[in-house]
């Protein structure tokens, strides 16, 4: 096992690489630390599969190098790189039993029989398949087959990394809870470097210690789930993480004072005089409905999902979402909103700007 370093890595599918836009994967410099759990999150077409294929050796990058530990593996084949991969759909040998399927990667490398038995037993127990070991794989449901794929991914303890390509897409919601926890336990137990590619924010955030968010061939932020949620580095992260995503509205900022349509918003930092397209971002969870204080809104729709209600409202010309906890009543005279001042983000030309802290905290909304 070793860390994986990407040095000035970039890839273009066509030979013409004069413009930035020609690159499906723009320049990446990143180190995947040994033994950590990562998620690579982004919509389809953002370049995450390109990056995955470059790491597994299925694709040669146009530029840059990949190092496993200190060793340059850019020119090495997939087999030489010693990587395990789990795909979206279960890949199992139907004619073999579950046990034989799990043992396959070990047997291929000529491991000792006693070691194989012990290891297969252990993995099967971790993923709850020990009762099925002697069963033919063909008789199992898709869920169980995908469990075999996961098990086969972790059965070798000498791989450099395990890459998961949307492994839970075809799994039922209830089963996802179980598989996700098992995957986390497997990571704790065996300590492999795991890189989990997905477009599903819930899967990414719940699985990973660090999430890498990609947009348009570019890594826009690398952070813990909390950082992505509370301090998105780019408007795309604000929009993509969270359901519904972050609310954005144009604002003019001067120092620690924001102004939206004549209403003053107190900010908790001093942003100076940002030049460019300045936008205020606030998550639905940090907007509160009030009876008269703050900005005026018109409520369009209330959707109840049991533990929460989602209110859709119009604030001047902008549509915004508000999350209301189940216990809170929404009354007819709740016509205004206030923002939690600590949770306001300011973006300039799509990127987050950090203000300098104020001497004295000001009130939320004047």
Partner 1 sequence: MSPPKRCWPRWTPVLADRRRRQEKACYRCPAFYCSCHDGGIRAKLAKLTTGEILEISRFKEQIMSLRLEGVSKSLDGETHIYPVDLELQKGSMNVLLGPTSAGKTSVMRLMAGLDKPDAGAVFWNNQDVTRRRVQDRDIAMVYQQFVNYPSMSVYDNIASPLKLQKKPRAEIDDRVQEIAELLQLAPILDRKPNEISGGQQQRCAIARALVKDVGLVLMDEPLANLDYKLREELRSEIPKLFAASGSIFVYATTEPEEALLLGGNTATLWEGRVTQFGPSMDVYRRPVDEITARVYSDPPMNFLPVRKAGNLVTFPNGQTAQAGDELALLPDREYRAGFRAHHIEVGGRPADKLAFEAQLVITELTGSETYIHLEAAGERWIGLIPGTQTFEVGQQLHIGLDTANLFYFDHDGQRVGLPRAETGRVSA
What are the residues binding partner 1 (CB under 8 A)? 43-45, 141-143, 172-175, 177, 180-181, 184-185, 188, 199-202, 205-207, 224-226, 228-230, 239-245, 283, 285, 303-307, 325-326
Residue 348 to residue 91: CA distance in whole angstroms = 46
Q: Which is nearer to partner 1, 153 or 225 (CB)?
A: 225
Burial of residue 296 (number of CB atoms within 10 Å: 0-12, 13-18, 19+): middle
Residue 280 to residue 185: CA distance in whole angstroms = 39
Q: Which is nearer to partner 1, 43 or 69 (CB)?
A: 43
Residue 237 to residue 231: CA distance in whole angstroms = 9
CB of 270 to partner 1, least distance (A): 26
Pairing of strands 161-165, 194-198: parallel
Q: Which is nearer to partner 1, 81 or 184 (CB)?
A: 184
Q: Which is nearer to partner 1, 103 or 194 (CB)?
A: 194
Residue 239 to residue 352: CA distance in whole angstroms = 13
CB of 142 to partner 1, least distance (A): 7
For the residues of 117-185, what is the DSSP string, one character each?
HHHHHHHHHHTT-GGGTTSBGGGS-HHHHHHHHHHHHHS-S--SEEEEESTTTTS-HHHHHHHHHHHHH
Q: Are 59 and 50 in contact (CB under 8 A)?
A: yes
CB of 127 to partner 1, least distance (A): 14
Closest by Cα among 258, 206, 249, 250 to 228: 206
Q: Which two tokens stand for residue 74?
A: 């850019």
CB of 7 to partner 1, least distance (A): 30
Q: Which is nearer to partner 1, 114 or 301 (CB)?
A: 301
CB of 309 to partner 1, least distance (A): 10
Q: Which is nearer to partner 1, 106 or 344 (CB)?
A: 344
CB of 236 to partner 1, least distance (A): 10
Q: What radius of gyration, in Å, describes the C-alpha atoms of the chain?
A: 24
CB of 296 to partner 1, least distance (A): 23
> 10 Å Cβ neighbour count for 121?
14
Q: Which is nearer to partner 1, 73 or 150 (CB)?
A: 150
CB of 172 to partner 1, least distance (A): 5
The helix-helix angle for 173-190 and 142-154 (nearest 10°) equals 10
Q: Which is nearer to partner 1, 23 or 229 (CB)?
A: 229
Closest by Cα among 222, 247, 227, 244 to 28: 222
Q: Are 222 and 211 in contact (CB under 8 A)?
A: yes
CB of 291 to partner 1, least distance (A): 23
Q: Which is nearer to partner 1, 62 or 285 (CB)?
A: 285
At residue 204's C-alpha, the angle toward residues 201 and 208, to 5°, is 150
CB of 13 to partner 1, least distance (A): 16
Cα 89 to Cα 78, 135, 169, distances in angstroms: 20, 20, 8
Residue 362 to residue 332: CA distance in whole angstroms = 30
Q: Which is nearer to partner 1, 93 or 239 (CB)?
A: 239
């Amino acid at each position: 096992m070793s860390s994986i370093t990407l040095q000035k890595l970039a890839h273009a599918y066509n030979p013409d690489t004069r413009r930035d836009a020609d690159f499906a994967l723009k320049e990446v410099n990143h180190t995947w630390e040994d033994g950590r759990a990562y998620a690579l999150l982004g919509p389809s077409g953002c370049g995450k599969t390109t990056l995955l294929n470059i790491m597994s050796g299925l694709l040669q990058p146009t530029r840059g190098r990949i190092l496993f530990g200190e060793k340059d593996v850019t020119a090495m084949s997939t087999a030489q790189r010693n990587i395990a991969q789990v795909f979206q759909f279960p890949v199992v040998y139907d004619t073999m039993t579950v046990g034989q399927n799990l043992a396959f990667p070990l047997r291929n490398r000529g491991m000792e029989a006693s070691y194989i038995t012990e290891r297969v037993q252990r993995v099967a127990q971790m993923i709850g398949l020990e009762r099925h070991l002697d069963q033919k794989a063909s008789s199992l449901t898709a869920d169980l087959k995908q469990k075999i794929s996961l098990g086969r991914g972790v059965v070798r303890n000498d791989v450099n990394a395990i890459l998961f390509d949307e492994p839970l897409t075809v799994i039922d919601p209830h089963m996802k809870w179980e598989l996700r926890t098992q995957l986390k336990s497997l990571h704790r137990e065996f300590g492999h470097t795991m890189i989990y590619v997905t477009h599903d924010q819930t899967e990414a955030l719940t699985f990973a210690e660090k999430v890498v968010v990609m947009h348009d061939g570019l890594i826009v932020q690398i952070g813990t789930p909390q950082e992505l949620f509370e301090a998105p580095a780019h408007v795309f992260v604000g929009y993509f993480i969270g359901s519904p995503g972050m609310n954005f509205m144009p604002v003019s900022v001067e120092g620690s004072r924001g102004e939206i349509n004549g209403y003053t918003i107190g900010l908790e930092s001093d942003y100076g005089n940002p030049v460019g397209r300045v936008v205020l971002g606030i998550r639905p969870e940090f907007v509160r409905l009030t009876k008269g204080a703050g900005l005026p809104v018109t409520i369009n729709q209330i959707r109840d999902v049991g533990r929460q209600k989602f209110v859709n409202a119009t604030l001047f010309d902008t549509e915004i979402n508000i999350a209301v906890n189940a216990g809170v009543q929404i009354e007819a005279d709740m016509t205004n909103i206030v923002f939690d001042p600590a949770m306001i983000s300011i973006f300039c030309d799509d990127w987050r700007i950090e203000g300098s802290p104020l001497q004295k905290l000001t009130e939320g909304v004047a």
